[in-house]
Structure formats: C-alpha cells, structure tokens
Chain A
Amino acid sequence: MSYAYLFKYIIIGDTGVGKSCLLLQFTDKRFQPVHDLTIGVEFGARMITIDGKQIKLQIWDTAGQEAFRSITRSYYRGAAGALLVYDITRRETFNHLTTWLEDARQHSNSNMVIMLIGNKSDLESRREVKKEEGEAFAREHGLVFMETSARTAANVEEAFINTAKEIYEKIQEGVFDINNEANGIKIGTVSTPTNPSIGSNLPGGQSSNSCC
C-alpha cells in the first residue's frame, strides 16, 4: 500500500508489562491473552492518517527479559519513535524505567520521540504506581505520558498516533533529516490520489525522490 511516510517504532520495557498486547491491540484491534512469547524481536505494521497523509507505522516489539537486551539493543538504531512501557500494577517495572531510558538514549538517534506508557490501567484495584508518578517521571525526562489498557483498548490508538504526530511535527520543523533512513523515517514511493501534492509539500523543499 502506498504511504507518504513510514515511521519505525520500537516498543520496550520489562517483560510482561503488555508490550505485545499493546501492539496486537493497535494492529488487530483485539486483546489476545493467547499469543506467543516474544523471543528476540517481532514485528507489526499499521497505516494511520495524520494531517490527511497516510503514514505507515512499522513497529518492532522486543523481548523484555534482560538476557535479550544484547540483541534487542541493536534495533534501537534507526527508530523514530519508542514506546517505553511499564505496568501500573508492578512497581519494579516502573523502577526500571531509568535503565531502559538510558539504554534507549544511548543507542538511538537523539531525536527519537519517546512515549512513556503506564499499561494495564483497567486493573485499578491492583494499582501500585500512581498516575501522578508516571506524569512526574515523564516531565522530568522530557517524555510524553499516557496510561493505557491493552485489554480495554483505552488510549492505545492515542499512544501510537500521538507519537506519530510528534514525529510528524518534528519533520515539519525540519528537525529530522528524512533522507537519512537511520532516523527511522522513510518517504513513501507513491502519494495517495487524494494527496497529489505530498511530494512537493515536504519540509525544507526536499524533492519527492523516493528512497526505496
């Protein structure tokens, strides 16, 4: 399918926080407790529309067990967005955010947009991390924050789409060098018929030369 841009995302965070469920909820619109264990990296994609433009999100879901970080780390490179997920019912997963963030900052490009996500908001009775704590952490580290539930789908669309919006704005501002694929952004080959002018709309007057 044709798209104006492709954004590459990674989903990171402790094991069991719901990364794969979030991805599945976003790509397939269902909560699936029956899904396989993520080993290494797995992959999903979905098309969204921002500002009338088709944007394809290519999402890399990673294994959370510490042993796998030596492999998953190499996929931080070349991501334009990251969802950093913790589980609001398990404090350790929140405590580990600092090391995850360090990891991500060290191995990705500096412009990567990071969205902090407190997942399993449907389990209010088991909550161990207050929403305010998540907000404070995000503020302190310059992240966008949201609480989601992969089970009820609450805020899941928003989390993925808001991240895309931020990336899109950064492109508009000329912050991202979109000709360098290492930034996790690709310009699509064909524009949609309803948007014949996408190519020439690119910021910085770049030509619509395809990159593929």
Chain B
Amino acid sequence: MSEFQEQLLHADEERIKICRKYLSGRNNQIIDQWEDPDFGLYYKIDRYGFIHTDKLSRDFDEQERKEKEVEIQRAQKWLKMVKNWNKFKETNREKLQRRIYKGVPDKLRRSIWLKLLNIENQMSQPSDNKNEPSIYNKMLLLGFKYSTEVRQIDNDINRCFRDHEYFRERYSTKQQQLFNVLVAYSMYNMELGYCQGMSTITAVLLIYLDEEEAFWALNTLMIDKKFAMHGLYIVGFPKLMRYLANHDKILTKFLPKLKKFLDKHNMDSVLYSLKWFFVIFVERIPFSLCLRIWDIFFLEGERVLPAMAYTILKLHSTKLLKFKDMDAITDYFQYKLHKNFGYTDNFVIKTLEISLNELRTRKMDLPPPSDNIELPKCELGTFIEPTIEKKLGLRSSCFSDTEKNVTDLVIARSEENGNSLDVIDENLADEMSNLNTVTNISDYEGELSYMDDDLDDEITYTNSHQNRKSLTCTSITSISEDRRSISTLNQQNFEEIVKDDDGEYRFKELISNSIDCNT
C-alpha cells in the first residue's frame, strides 16, 4: 500500500471512530472522568439551562421571577398570534414587531423561531415515496460516510456550552444532535463545509429546536438573503471584512473619541468584535439579552448586527474610556460584559432601536454590498469533490490569493487606524450629542424595565415607534425561492448511496451499516 493510501485509510478510520462514538451516545463507551466538567456540589441552573457555580444573587432570582411573571401575562396574546400567524404577519406586522422587541416569552420562543425562519415550510417537502428519507437524513448519511469536517466538528462540540445542561455530558443526546446537524450540513452546503462558530450557532438553535428543525434553521441563516451568514464563514471571510470596515466607519462617525482611544491602545475591531458577528453575540453578552437580539435578528435580518455592535460601544463608551491599558479593555469585552452587561435587557433593546434608526438615517446600517456573490454558487446538495488535503485532514502549505488578501487587509486596516487619528477629531462634537441620546433614554429606564402588557397595543414612546414603522419594509420570508432549488436537489447522485440492496430506506441501520462496511 502506498503512503498516500495508508494516510487515506487512517483518515477514514478516524472519521468512523468519531461517528461511532456519537452514534452510540453516552452508553457503551468509556468516557474519562476529566472529559465531563465537574460543577461541584452547589450549582444552580438558570431558566435557560446554564449551570452557574457561583451563587446567583438574590437580584438574579428576583429578576427571573419578574420576567416569568410578565411572560405568563403575555402568553395568551402570543398564543393567539402564533395561531393566526400568516394573517397577523400581513395585517398586523407592526404589532408583531413591537411585541418581538418587547420580548418573546421563552415558552413560545420555539414556535416564534420556527415561524420567523420559515422552518415548517422547508420541512414539508413533497415526496412520492413515503419511505424515502428526508433531505436531512440523506445528508446525514452521506456526511457520516464522506464528510471531511468530522474531526473538527467533534473537536468543537467538546467545548461547546459545556456549562449547559444539554451539552454538559460528553455524547449526550444534544451533543449527538449537534454533531448530526453539523455533519449533515457540511455535506449539504459543501462550499462552506464547516467553519468554527457554526457549532455555537447550531447549539443555540438546538436549545429550542429539534434536530431536523435546527438543520433547516441553520440553512436559513446561512443562505437566506436576509441573513446570508454563508459569506461570513467562507474562505477569506468576505462578509466579515465588510462588516469590520463598516463598523470602523460607524465608530469614526458616531463615537470618534472612543475610536481614537481604542486605536491608541491598538484595539483593532478584529480583536473584540469577531464573536459579535460570527456567533451573533453569544458568550459576549448575557444569554438572556443575547436571545432577545436573536429574536430581533430573526425578524429584521442582518442590519441588527452592526447596530448592536454600535450599541454595545455606545453604552459602554464612558467606562471604556477610563481604562488604562489593552488588558483591561480586552478583559471587559471578553469576560465582563458576558457576566454582567450593566444595563437591563429592556434598556439595551431600546437603545438598539435608536441605534438602528440612527444608522439607517445615515445609510450606515449595512456595509456597501459586495461585488462578489457571498452566497453558495452551486446548488445546495451538490457533491463537490474535496481536495486531497481536506480528505487527509492536512493543513495545506500554500496560501491562496484570497487568504493573502485578507491578511493584507487586516494589517492595512490596523495600520490605517493608527494613522487616522486626525480625521476623527472632526467628529468629536457629534459624539457628545450621541452620548446625550443615551442619557436621555435612561430617563425612562425605570418605566421600561418591566412594562405592563396593557401598554402592548399602545404607542409607548415616539422614538421607537418611528423606528418600527420604517422597519416594516423587510420581508419575513424570502425563503420560498430557495425551497425550489432544494427540491430539485441532485437526486440521482444520492439515490444509489442511500438505498440499500433491496431498494429500501432504513435510515438508522443504514448509518451504522455504512460505517461498518467502511471498516
């Protein structure tokens, strides 16, 4: 056997070994004790399932209690809305928006996400053969057999939300689902495959959705024009580059003093904002707030990201300006804001609405569109032969032009930031007025904290009302077109692989069998 064949065999074996582990789950295997996190005797699980080892303060309990109370009060209205979703969406869009900004009751989050991401429609595919596996199941099976991303996915599941009750235990049901969804998706969208960060996104989806739903939700986030996260994750991160450039511009315009300060400390936006854009603020702001950003993101689409990034800096500008060095600043961005954001979730959402408005007025709510298409070029479900390096799991030694450009771009931007201190001065006056906006809204902070639901149907305050009106233009569903290309999926290609000898589909067995004959 040639060395090459040997390496290929080795890579195959490794993939199979990993897949087996997830197939058999927690039973039937030895898991070293150190692999599962130990939370000691005293811990508490918050309402979202996260485990806290430090005692949660009374305020925290009190806040959870209040939140739940408000949500129970609101639940009826929400239930009605979910039932009549289509009608409501068309005739009462404004009310829908207003309610989502005010907060989706956690119990209904699953239903709302399914609606906002149009999951049900994507899943109800027409099929002549009842026994035929779904697209998802086909992709999963193929993924187990051919995905080159298995090793990386396994690696990342091992460190994904291990402080959450669902993901805490190695090979737990949710870990299995996370593995399946990512492996299947790496097959479905082979131009993208798997990129770090997608594990985090999918894990949040899986806290609320089932396995197959999460797969389609992930797909929507990647390829629907409204979110188009595909361009964030592909080689060269083209969309990220545009976001970062836009973010710098926003700072120069609206927060010049802070921009100058960050530049002075070499705090390039690449250093603090990657998780904001890549994983939509997960683990950079408290989870309860993050969920609300996700709700609004699902409703409004990608313009929420630049606005939230701006909002974070706006709200914390005064604090940041006091820091003496880079360590303190990064510590603040990396850990402090996640632990305690310093403002109530409701207040942050209000500020976000104002930011959205500000940016839209100045036409800075989205970066300029790209010249290249940042969506998949091939039809989804098309098999693309992986490179030898991918197959063997090797680092490629040559550096593509796209990659080189990115490196140059990152370097150039950080140097430019160092030199652009003069331009910024001109905008300093503006910044003061911006900061004033923040103090103004804080006047009704108390009032907003736990708003009574009776206000629901009234215009609570002008500022955000204007906001919502202008938001109406974004459409909720632009997925139907994509559905069509999914249904014309490259069938023949997969038929043979998926059917067993008798021409029948028996999915679970199929997976383990296919893995067995590989060995």
Please report A residues at the B interface, Cβ cutoff 8 Å. Answer: 14-16, 31, 33-37, 39-43, 45, 58, 63, 65-71, 73-74, 77, 92, 95-96, 98-100, 102, 151
List of B residues within 8 angstroms of A67 by Cβ: 195-196, 233, 235, 237
Contact of B35 among A33, A96, A100 (CB under 8 A): A33
Minimum CB distance partner of B392 in chain A? A92
List of B residues within 8 angstroms of A102 by Cβ: 397
B278 to chain A, nearest CB (A): 5
Contact of A92 among B163, B393, B411, B414 (CB under 8 A): B393
Assess whether A39 is in contact with B406, with CB atoms less than 8 Å apart.
Answer: no
CA distance A34 to B402 in the complex (A): 34
Q: Given the known A-B contacts A39-B197, A70-B237, A71-B406, are A16 and B278 also in contact in the complex, defined by CB atoms under 8 Å?
A: no
Q: Given the known A-B contacts A37-B196, A39-B274, A92-B393, are A58 and B410 also in contact in the complex, defined by CB atoms under 8 Å?
A: no
Assess whether A151 is in contact with B199, with CB atoms less than 8 Å apart.
Answer: no
Contact of A41 among B156, B271, B396 (CB under 8 A): B271
Contact of A37 among B159, B237, B403 (CB under 8 A): B159
CA distance A39 to B156 in the complex (A): 11
List of A residues within 8 angstroms of B270 by Cβ: 40-41, 71, 74
A34 to chain B, nearest CB (A): 4
List of B residues within 8 angstroms of A65 by Cβ: 152, 195-196
Given contacts A33-B159, A36-B200, A37-B200, 11 further A-B contacts (CB under 8 A): A36-B283, A40-B278, A43-B326, A65-B196, A70-B236, A70-B237, A70-B410, A71-B270, A74-B407, A74-B410, A151-B34
Assess whether A14 is in contact with B395, with CB atoms less than 8 Å apart.
Answer: yes
- Would you call B394 an interface residue if the criterion is a C-beta within 8 Å of the partner chain's C-beta atoms? yes
Which 4 pairs across A and B sit closest by C-beta, in order of nearness? A40-B274, A70-B406, A70-B403, A34-B162
Q: Given the known A-B contacts A33-B34, A77-B411, are A42 and B159 also in contact in the complex, defined by CB atoms under 8 Å?
A: no
CA distance A33 to B158 in the complex (A): 8
A13 to chain B, nearest CB (A): 11
Q: Given the known A-B contacts A67-B235, A92-B393, A151-B34, are A34 and B196 also in contact in the complex, defined by CB atoms under 8 Å?
A: no
| Chain A to chain B contacts (Cβ below 8 Å), 28 pairs | A15-B196, A34-B159, A34-B162, A35-B159, A36-B159, A36-B200, A37-B197, A37-B199, A39-B197, A39-B279, A40-B271, A41-B270, A41-B274, A43-B271, A43-B327, A65-B195, A66-B395, A67-B195, A67-B196, A69-B399, A70-B236, A70-B403, A71-B237, A71-B270, A71-B407, A74-B411, A96-B394, A102-B397
Minimum CB distance partner of B264 in chain A? A212
Interface core residue of A35, A67, A96 (most chain B CB under 10 Å): A67
- Would you call B275 an interface residue if the criterion is a C-beta within 8 Å of the partner chain's C-beta atoms? yes
CA distance A45 to B397 in the complex (A): 31
Task: Find residues 112-163 in chain B having any chain A CB closer than 8 Å to their own CB.
Answer: 152, 155-156, 158-160, 162-163
- Would you call B472 an interface residue if the criterion is a C-beta within 8 Å of the partner chain's C-beta atoms? no
List of B residues within 8 angstroms of A34 by Cβ: 37, 159, 162-163
B: contact size bracket: 35 or more
B164 to chain A, nearest CB (A): 10
A57 to chain B, nearest CB (A): 11
Task: Find residues 215-260 in chain B having any chain A CB closer than 8 Å to their own CB.
Answer: 233, 235-237
CA distance A100 to B199 in the complex (A): 25
Assess whether A39 is in contact with B237, with CB atoms less than 8 Å apart.
Answer: no
Task: Find residues 318-360 in chain B having any chain A CB closer than 8 Å to their own CB.
Answer: 326-327, 330, 334
CA distance A65 to B102 in the complex (A): 38
- 1/0 contact string of B378-408 vs chain A (CB within 8 Å): 0000000000000001111101001110110
List of B residues within 8 angstroms of A77 by Cβ: 411
CA distance A35 to B334 in the complex (A): 12
Q: Given the known A-B contacts A37-B200, A41-B270, A92-B393, are A74 and B152 also in contact in the complex, defined by CB atoms under 8 Å?
A: no
Contact of B278 among A31, A39, A70, A74 (CB under 8 A): A39
List of B residues within 8 angstroms of A43 by Cβ: 271, 326-327, 330, 334
CA distance A14 to B196 in the complex (A): 13
Minimum CB distance partner of A41 in chain B? B271
Minimum CB distance partner of A15 in chain B? B155
List of A residues within 8 angstroms of B404 by Cβ: 70
Minimum CB distance partner of A38 in chain B? B196
List of B residues within 8 angstroms of A40 by Cβ: 270-271, 274-275, 278
Minimum CB distance partner of A97 in chain B? B395
Assess whether B197 is in contact with A16, with CB atoms less than 8 Å apart.
Answer: no
Assess whether B410 is in contact with A71, with CB atoms less than 8 Å apart.
Answer: yes
CA distance A69 to B395 in the complex (A): 10
Assess whether A15 is in contact with B197, with CB atoms less than 8 Å apart.
Answer: no
B290 to chain A, nearest CB (A): 13
A211 to chain B, nearest CB (A): 13
